[in-house]
Each structure stands twice: as C-alpha cells, then as structure tokens.
Chain A
Amino acid sequence: MNLLLLILIPLFTAIAVLLMRNPQHIKWVALTGATTQFITALWLLLAYQNERAAGNHFQMLFEQRYNLFTSWHISFHLGVDGISTAMILLTAFVVIAGVLVSWKMTKMTKEFYFLLILLSLGAYGFFISLDLFILFFFLEIAVIPKYLLIGIWGSGNKEYSANKLALMLMGGSALVLVGLLGLYFNSPERTFDLIRLSEIGISTETQKICFPLLFIGFGVFTALFPFHTWVPDGHSSAPTAGSMFLAGISMKLGGYGCLRVATYLMPAGAKEYANIIIVLSSIAILYGAFTTLMQKDLKYMNAYSSVSHCGFVLLGISMLTKTSMTGAVMQMISHGLMTALFFAVIGMIYERTHTRQINEMSGLLKVMPFISTIFFIVGFCSLGLPGLSGFVAEMTIFMGSWEHPDAFHRIATIVACLSIVVTAVYILRAIGKTAMGPLKEGYANLTDASWNEKLAAVILVAGIIAIGCAPFWLNNLVGPDTQLIMQKILLTQ
C-alpha cells in the first residue's frame, strides 16, 4: 500500500477538474476521484489489518520518507497507524458523500469541486503525515478552501462567517506553529519528525510551554470552548458540502492533532494541563448542548451540537486513559459521519423547503419519507442511541473518564453524561417540529431524495451503523495505538 496514493489521487482529480470545461464532466470526474479514494481508503484499512494480523508491530505502517528542506531537517514522512487509518476512512466517507450531495451545484461548478477536492487533499495529507512540518502544511491547506467555499457558495451572513472562520482557524494554526517551533528548537536534536521526537523525548519545561500552544491551537479547530464561535457561523453559512466537510473532516483535524501531536509528544504537558482542558471541554459539552437548545435554525442547531459533541472528543483526550482516548477517536469518527449526514439532510430539506427555521416546517415525513427517516437516524445517532455510532463513542468516553476515582473527574463525567438528556431534548424538538406534525400547506408537492442524495445518505448511514453495531473492529483498530499513547503518559512520573 503506497500512502502517496492518498495524496496523489485527490491531486490529480483536482488538476483534472481544473482542466475540464463541461460542468457535467467535472462532476463525474470529481465523483470518480472520490470513489477511487474511497476504495483506496478501504483498501488501506484491509491492508493495514492484514499487516497487523501478520504480526507487523511497527508503530507506523507503510512508512515512506523523502527528504525535503534538508537544511531544516524536514522530511516528507508518511505513515499510518490505526488512528490515522480510521480518520482516513472517515474522510473518504465524507468526501464521497459531499461530492454526491452537491451534484446539482450550478454556480461555478469547476471551482467548487476543485476547492472541495483541495480541502480533502489537505485532510488526507494531514492524517498520513508523520512530519510535523508537513502536517502543519496540510493543516493550513485546508483552511482557505473553506473560506472560499463559504464565501462564494454560502448563504446568509456568509462573508462575515467566512472571515471569522478563516481568521480563527488561522489563529489556531498560528499557535500550533509556535508550539511546533518550540518543539523543534527544544528537542535534543532539531527535527520535526513525529516518531523521532517521541523517541528522544522533550524536556518537561518545554512541554509545559508547548503543550498549551499546540492543544489550544488544534483545539480551535475542534471547537474548544471558548474558541468555538467560528463553528456556528461557519457551518451555517457554508453550502451543504462545505458544512459536511467542515464539521465532518475539518474539525477532526484538530482532534487528531490534539491527540497525535500534543498529547502523544508531550505526555507531561498533557498531565499538567489535563484538568483545565477537562473543565473547558465539560463546559463546552453542557454549554454547547444548552445553547443548541435555543437555536431555531437547523444548521445553527447542528453546528452548536457539534460544539457539544466535539467537547466529548477533547474530554476523552484530556481524561488521559486508554479507554477515553479510544472513545475520543471513536467520537471523532462517529461525529464526522453523523454530522456530515446531518448537514446533508439539512441541505436536502433546505433545497426543497427553502427554509432552515425549525418553526417554519412541519410534517415532512409525509412527503419525504426517505429524507425524514435519515433525519431520524442521524438524530438518534446524535443523541447516542445504541446501534448507532454515537452511543459507542460516548459510552467509551464515559467509561474511560470514570476510571479516575477522584471527585473532579467524576463530576466532569457526570456533567458530560447529563448532556445526553439535553441532546435528546433538542434533537427531538427538531425532529418533532420538522419531520412530524401535520403537513404544512404548500409542501404537498415536495419531492423525496434523488438518487445521488440517497446514495450519499446510505453511504454515511452504513458507516454509522457499521460502527454502532460492530464497534469492536474500530476499537481493535484504534485501541493499540491509544494504548501506546497511554503508555507514554504512564511513563512520565
């Protein structure tokens, strides 16, 4: 399995899209690219599992290294472990669904697909890079496409949102950058290589400075309270596929970074600041949930709920137990699929009813049973119904968090638990108002999902159910690597 494929496929797709003229062809090219990538991701999963089953116990598999900027000791170092494989899989799911959902895009089709693919390229690159510099490069690549996607194809107060998003994310990455530079200059040998850095270790003082920089920096991407305000505006202004990518992939970059870069490299720092982050993420969870409660716009609702759900990711990471970290990864995957689907559904509904206000809709189940059913499924996933992915992830986080016997962690866990009630309230409220109830006048002629929308939804639902009903494969995929991270944390006094 050559990991370069994961970058090259989107790259060539993007170039191909740029060269095309006919919008119809562009769509198909994009879809072909996404599908190829999807298959490649599945292939990667299989290859990875085969390799592990065959007893390959290297930390990273399929490693490749090309020297780049030798004077800075930067190398194009690629490799995957269970966590990144899972994230790549998630990306592939969301990308293909995103391409499918925006099938009817007529405005500047070429640019739209180009940016989508560029965004996915950033995500793929981010997940497979083992060199912090490259990682940062890909992290930033993904920012501007988001800005343009929102700004050009968005709706509502799009320019404001796009600006806010771009600036806050750049702010986050600026902190990340400083943190990375701190690591670079304070490690015994100047290197950006993730594996090397973890081997040689970083002094505790450096960790204390760099950890917050990196964690907050990545945290901005993951809607760490109080740096989450780009999330609601950004998500709600973005076009459907944009929101899907934003919430499904982009927010995961941050979570992955928090785990892979901040926590993995700086266990002492992680321990030092864990409590603060726990407090912040607990606040985000409950506060996000309550804020969601008050939203009247479906997209805003889902965006705020993302704040809450991503709080789980950060909570899981900062609880610093193997289980909770596994849970955090699961939550990333789960939330990625779920929220992408959620936005897709909202997009479908909006396309038909031309409103996103919860109060202005009613009885959609009658005229669009498919879309409404998906709405139900995704809602249930969001509120953590067993059998769907959300449950598995949240429970794993709870179980992991509960392993700390002291009152502080207990309270944080309980706070997190309480949020699932609030989640239920707002999800049911939304579903009850939109899908259920008497059919609103004038809605009788609305149509149900078209083939592309159905396909997109089915793909994502399949992912959600695959995790929800059989979480063990994901657990087995991710578990050993979180175990590894945990070992490092345990080794620091």
Chain B
Amino acid sequence: MNEMLIIMKSELLITIIIFLLLFIKLGKGMTNDSLLILVQFLMLLNFIAGFFFNLPGNLFDGMYHTGPLIAFQKNILNLGVYLISLLFADWFRKSEHLTEFFILLLSALLGMFLMISSGNLLMFFLSLELATIPVAALANFDLDKKKSSEAAMKFILSSAFSSGILLFGISMVYGATGTLSFELLPAQLNGNPLQVLAFVFLFAAFAFKLSIVPFHLWTADVYEGSPVAVTAFLSVISKGSVSFIFLTALYKVFQPMNELWYNMVMILSIATMITGNLFALRQQNIKRFLAFSSIAQLGFILVGISSNALEGTSSVVYFVLIYVFSNLAAFGVTSVISSRVGKENIDEYRGLYQTNPFLCWVMALALFSLAGIPPTAGFFGKLFLLTAGASKANYTFIIIAALNMILSLYYYLKVIRAMFMEKNEKPIEKIRLYPSVKLGMVICAIGIILTGLLSWVFDYIQSLH
C-alpha cells in the first residue's frame, strides 16, 4: 500500500494540491496575489518533489505503470506548469477565478500524468478526457471575451468528435483482439485491414490531440481565443504529454505494425510541417502565429518519432523539454504584452527593442530556439529529431524536413525583424515586469541556452530507458 502511494506519488501530489485549492476556494478564499504565490510555491515543490522517491512499478493490473523515463516526462510537465504559474502572472492577477483556474489546470495535468502512465486503452481514454475537458473549460476563462467562448466551443466540440472517433477505433481494436491492455495487444496485432482501420481511427485521435495535419484545424482558433496561459498549456504541456504517450503507443503497442505507421507518420509529418509553416507564414496575430508554428514543430516531433528506436524516444523527450522552455518563453512575452498593452499583432511589435530589450532578447532566444538556431537548445533538439528520423535512411523525408526548417526560419525572422529592425514612431512603452515573470523568463532563457550546451542532459534522458 505504501509502495503504491510512492509509485503514484506525482499523481497523488497533484490531487492533494487540487483538494487544497478546493478547500481554499470553499473557505474564505484568498487574494489573487497571495494565492498566486502559494500556487507558484506549490508548483515549485511539486517540481522538486518529482526528482525524489521515484519508484518504478505496475499497478492496477497494469493499468498504471511508471518508470524513470515516465517520471522524467512528468517532471518536464511539472516544470512546464511551474513556468506557466510564473510567466502568466499578469493575466492571473486579473483573473477572477484563479483558484478554479488552477484546479482545472491541475486536473488536466493529472489527466496527463495518468495518460503517460496508462497501460490500458481504457485508462488512456479516461485520462485523455480528463486532460481535455477541463482545458476546454479553461479556454473559456476569459469570460467576457467572445473569442474565448468561441475557442472553448470549438475545442469541446472538436474533441468530442475526436473522442468519438477514438472510441470507435478502440472498440474495433477491442473487437479484433479482445484486450485493451498495452501489454497484451502487440501479440494480437497482425496488420490485417480491420486492424489497420482501427489503427487509423486511433491514430487520428492522437493526431488530433497533437494537431497533426489534417486533424489540426481546431488548433489555431483555440489558441487564438483562449487566454494566453491556456494556450501555452495546450501548446506545450498538452502536446508534450500526448507525444509521450504517442511514443509508447507506437513503439510498444503498435510495434507489430511499425511499417504501416512509419509511412503514416512520414506522410503526416511532411504534411504537418508544410501546412504549419505555410499558415504560420501569413499570420499577424502572434498567438495564432505561435499556434501554426507549434503545428510545424509537431511535424518535427513526428520526424523523431518515425525513427522507431531508443533514439526516437530520447530525442522526442529531449525536444519536448526544450520546447517547454522555448515556447513558454515566447508565450510569456506574448502574454505580458497582450495583458499589459493589449497588443497581439506582430506589426505592433515593431521597434520593441528600443523600449523593452529584455523582452526582445527573451523572445529572440525563444524563436531562435524554435527555429533551431545554435547555440540555443532548439538546435540540438531539432538536430536530434532529424538524426533519429534519418536512421531509416529516407533522405527525401529528411531533406523535406530540413527544408522546412528554412521556411520556419523565415517567419520566425519576421518577428525578429519587427522587434529589432523595423522602426516605429510609437513603439510599445516600457513595461515593468513582475518579479515572477522575470524569474520565469530568466529560467526559460537559461534553459534555452544550457539544455543544449550541457550535453549530459540528453545522455541522461537516454539513460532513463
């Protein structure tokens, strides 16, 4: 029993925090500022706790399992949530339902944890829903903004649709194999057409969560309409967690059909990169822009996933770690500007460097990292994804991926250009950052630079297997 508590420690911690927040809410409540500090503190504790007492194990008849790699993945997500609690202080302070916000956020996080740990399609489905439905509610948290409810509506409907698809796929898998367990499934899979069909349904649901073309269409609208914090959560934490479980699903569960999914991943990866980039190219709204760019990033993750090897897992996990830093930094800057000045257009960023060099450098670092420019960690991340993907010696694929890096560089540079090069009579005025935001940005910046240069990070991830 004790052992079980330790094994499920991260989930339990989150649950405890959720209930703590619930009691605070039910009690007399707290001011936003103190609550925020409390939450930040708790998240930090939670993050730190993630490094200790990690026990691998299998619980509930294999429905739940964990190991060093999964623990590390959860730590990445914890880190992301901690950073979110730091970076979006501007928005949090104005929010009226901060407690509920974090309750929902943490429920979703809990769902993700369970999802990563799930060893069974039922658990997977349930935790996926747990990770989705609260987020849909969160997307509506800019209660007085039309766009926010529109985003939430689109999100909940799309994900309901995708749940339907997923369930249909699961039901077919169940019918064809008689089992839902990740352990037992591989033995039953033989790649006959029905299984392929079932796999396509399942795959599509994953693809939906990962915003892979052509299942990505909800992404941009939802990102644009949601509060920045939710967008960041969706684009970083949610994507990260789904890629982790996707790895397990492909490498472990559907291993017998790896030829099939390799091709599928390849096609969709190419489509995703190209589409994401092409759409990102012409965005003016920075959130939308980041949405499409993150779609393209997901295409890259698929490149890594396609390798079907140890390197694939490590490079994806590594990339997600870097992605947490980079994308959160970018969203952090966006959020500061959007909640202070209400400007979200790239054009309005012109001349920002004259007034806010710190923000600009953070943004630049983040974007360079996303674009894969050394010495930022994104360079290593992308390179390892490509390296992993290249192990199949499919050069066309890799060349397309590499060329897409250029395309993506083009639009990242657009933002850089606006901030650094273009002149503006009335640039955004100087913004004094909250300490926590500054702290978050510094952490991100350090992460962006050091995660790559300190090569043992990758080796450590590799060793977790």
Classify A-B as touching or not with yes or no (CB < 8 A).
yes
A68 to B421, Cβ gap below 8 A?
no
Q: Which of A214-269 contact B (CB under 8 A)?
A: none
Whether, in the assembled complex, A474 has its beta carbon less than 8 Å from a beta carbon of chain B, the answer is no
List which A111-125 residues lie within 8 A (CB) of chain B.
none
Select which of B311, B406, B416 is within 8 A of A167 by beta carbon.
B406
Smallest CB gap from A137: residue in B: B374
CB distance from A149 to the nearest CB of B (A): 11
Contacting B409 at CB < 8 Å: which of A167, A175, A177?
A167
Task: Report whether B420 and A177 are in contact in the complex, using a CB–CB cutoff of 8 Å.
Answer: no
Query: Roughly how many angstroms separate A67 CA and B456 CA in the complex, as a whole number?
Result: 10
List B352-383 residues whose CB lies under 8 Å from chain A.
Answer: 368, 373-375, 379-380, 383
Most chain B beta carbons < 10 A, residue from A68, A69, A74: A69
Q: Does A417 contact B (CB under 8 A)?
A: no
Q: Within the complex, which residue of A137, A152, A167, A184 is in contact with B379, where a contact is CB–CB below 8 Å? A: A137
Contact in complex: A177, B402 (CB < 8 Å):
yes
The minimal Cβ–Cβ distance linking B7 to chain A, given in whole angstroms, is: 27
Which B265-316 residues have a C-beta within 8 angstroms of A? Answer: 311, 314
B459 touching A70, Cβ below 8 Å? yes
Within 8 A of B (CB), among A94-144: 133, 136-138, 140-141, 143-144
> Which candidate, B103-111, B239-247, B386-394, is the interface stretch facing chain A?
B386-394
User: Is B413 an interface residue when CB atoms closer than 8 A count as contact?
Assistant: yes
A184 with B387, Cβ < 8 A, contacts A151-B417, A171-B406 known: yes
Q: How large is the interface on A (under 10, 10 to 19, 20 to 34, 35 or more residues)?
A: 35 or more
**Shortest distance in angstroms between A69's beta carbon and chain B's nearest beta carbon?**
5
Cα of A213 to Cα of B390 in the assembled complex, Å: 14
CB neighbours (8 Å) of B248 from chain A are: none
Q: Which residues of A contact B201 (CB under 8 A)?
A: none
B322 CB, nearest partner CB in chain A, Å? 14
Task: Flag if A148 contacts B383 (CB, 8 Å).
Answer: no
Is the CB–CB distance between A181 and B398 below 8 Å?
yes
**A159 close to B421 (CB less than 8 A):** yes
A182 and B410 contact, CB distance less than 8 A: no
* Also in contact, A140 and B379, with CB within 8 A (given A178-B395, A178-B399): yes
Contact check, A158 vs B421: say whether CB atoms are below 8 A apart.
yes
**A-B pair number, CB within 8 angstroms:** 96
Determine if A144 and B311 form an interchain contact, defined as CB atoms under 8 angstroms apart: no
Chain B 28-65 per-residue mask, 1 if CB under 8 angstroms from chain A, else 0: 00000000000000000000000000000000000000
Which of B328-367 touch A at CB < 8 Å? Answer: none
Q: For B397, give the chain A residue with the smallest CB separation.
A: A178
- A209 adjacent to chain B (CB < 8 Å): yes
Q: Of B398, B416, B455, which is within 8 A of A178 by CB?
A: B398
**A233 smallest CB distance to B (angstroms):** 15
A70 vs B387: C-alpha distance in the bound complex, in angstroms?
14
Residue in B closest to A138 when the chains form the complex, CB atoms: B374
* CA distance in complex: A144, B420 (Å): 13
- A69:B458 contact, CB within 8 angstroms: yes
Known: A181-B390, A184-B390. A140 touches B399 (CB 8 A): no
Q: Which residues of B contact A69 (CB under 8 A)?
A: 380, 455, 458-459
User: For B455, what are the chain A residues with a Cβ–Cβ distance below 8 Å?
Assistant: 67-70, 74
Tell me, yes or no, whether B405 is within 8 Å of chain A by CB.
Answer: yes
What are the interface flags for B415-435 relative to A under an 8 Å C-beta threshold, 1 for contact and 0 otherwise? 011001110000000000000
Contact of A185 with B by CB under 8 A: yes
- Indicate whether B179 reaches chain A with its CB closer than 8 angstroms: no
Residue of B nearest to A142 (CB): B374
In the complex, what distance in Å separates the CA atom of A410 from the CA atom of B138?
73
A35 within 8 A of B: no
Tell me the bound Cα distance from A366 to B31 in angstroms: 77
Is the beta-carbon distance between B417 and A159 smaller than 8 angstroms?
Answer: yes
Given known A-B contacts A140-B373, A143-B373, A151 and B409 have beta carbons under 8 A apart? no
A163 interface hit (Cβ, 8 Å): yes
| 8 Å CB contact of B395 from A141, A143, A162, A182 | A182
A144 (CB) vs chain B CBs: closest residue: B373
Complex interface: chain B residues within 8 A of A213 (CB): 395, 399
> Bound complex: CA of A74 vs CA of B383, how far in Å?
12
Q: Judge whether B384 is part of the interface by a CB distance below 8 angstroms.
A: yes
B403 within 8 A of A: yes
Q: Is the CB of A174 within 8 A of B403?
A: yes
Interface bits B451-465 vs A (CB < 8 Å: 1, else 0)? 000010011001100
Complex CA distance for A338 and B359, rounded to whole angstroms: 40
Q: Sample 5 A-B pairs with CB under 8 A, ordered by A number.
A: A70-B459, A144-B368, A147-B413, A148-B416, A159-B422
9 nearest CB pairs, A to B: A174-B402, A181-B390, A71-B462, A68-B455, A151-B421, A69-B455, A141-B374, A170-B406, A140-B374
B residues neighboring A (CB under 8 Å): 311, 314, 368, 373-375, 379-380, 383-384, 386-387, 390-391, 393, 395, 398-399, 402-403, 405-406, 409-410, 413, 416-417, 420-422, 455, 458-459, 462-463
> Hey, which bits of chain A sit against chain B, CB under 8 A?
67-72, 74, 133, 136-138, 140-141, 143-144, 147-148, 151-152, 158-159, 162-163, 166-167, 170-171, 174-175, 177-178, 181-182, 184-186, 209, 213
Given A68-B455, A209-B395, 5 other A-B residues pairs in contact with their CB atoms under 8 A:
A70-B455, A72-B458, A166-B413, A170-B405, A181-B390
